[in-house]
Amino acid sequence: MRSKETKNIKLDTLSFEDQNIFFEDFVIEGSDNDLLGSERMPRIVKAVGICICLKGEGEFNADSKKYNIKEGDICVVFPDDILHIRKKSKDFKGYIIALTPSFLYNINILSSTQIYLFMKKNRCISLSDKEREDLIKMYEDMKSYDARLDQPCRREITQYLIIAIVYEIIGLYKKGEPLNQQPYSRKDQIFFNFMELVSLNCKKERGIEFYADKLCISSRHLSSICKELYGQTAKKCIDEQIIIYVQALLNTTTLTVAQIADEYNFPNASFFTKFFKEHTGITPKEYRNADKVQ
């Protein structure tokens, strides 16, 4: 029986939907407002977020990995990432763009899965002075058009300027890795849908069959797609997501190992500890203590 202490455990979400400049598909924010906050509890991101650091420095965790951002850097987060702002300098300023997944998918970006996976592994990159100046100018032009309330096509103009910025940013990331030019495919769609289902259901469902049934494909076909696009089996993708979520709970709550095991539908704490150690090399208790030392 699920304990009363854990039945409602969940991480807060960061969706930007309460912002008054949200246009259904995207939100843009300048350097004077603190959209992300500082040193808050981890939150599940429900948008594609792009941050251009103008001044200062900061430290954040995305999916339990630590990243540093400084002046002249650009960083990205993706839907269902667990974002934890660990610290920011008092003079930190930046530009932020947040896009809904549907907006980004509708752009039909070339090599979408490959770019997505590369950017997830290389979230922060440093820009040259020229690259930073060009990107800031594009952003400020977009903000200028967005402020033209008397322009009946204001939304459409802003959308296309955002698309231009997205492609500019992709180009900056492509400089670090040659990427094949392949169109967004049915396999890409299945992979992204699978990862979204995993994020929503991994507390209860760890079996491949559940997700394959939801996607109306065979378990073998699902694993084949994950292996081709992600380099790992579907089961490994599921297990990775569970590890990311429980690491966030270990880092930021006082829940016992037994309570977390119960929340994620493990038979008992011993089974959960074995599962965690198989994927991380250490026990949940050791992981929690190591984070406290940091």
Domains of the chain in sequence order: 12-174 (2.60.120.280), 186-293 (1.10.10.60)
Cα distance between residue 214 and residue 197, in whole Å: 8
Contact yes or no for 188/226 (Cβ under 8 A): no
Ordered per-residue pLDDT tens for the chain, 294 residues: 344 333 334 445 444 444 433 334 445 555 444 545 545 567 778 788 888 998 899 888 888 788 999 999 999 988 888 888 888 888 888 888 888 877 776 666 545 677 777 888 889 999 999 999 999 999 888 888 878 888 888 888 888 888 899 889 988 988 866 655 566 678 888 998 898 899 889 999 999 999 999 999 999 999 999 998 888 899 999 999 999 889 888 887 889 999 999 999 999 999 999 999 999 999 999 998 886 655
> Which amino acid is residue 10, in one-letter code?
K
Please tell me the distance from the alpha carbon of residue 206 to that of residue 265, in angstroms, as a whole number.
Answer: 9
The dihedrals phi and psi of 18, each to the nearest 5 degrees, come to: -90, 5
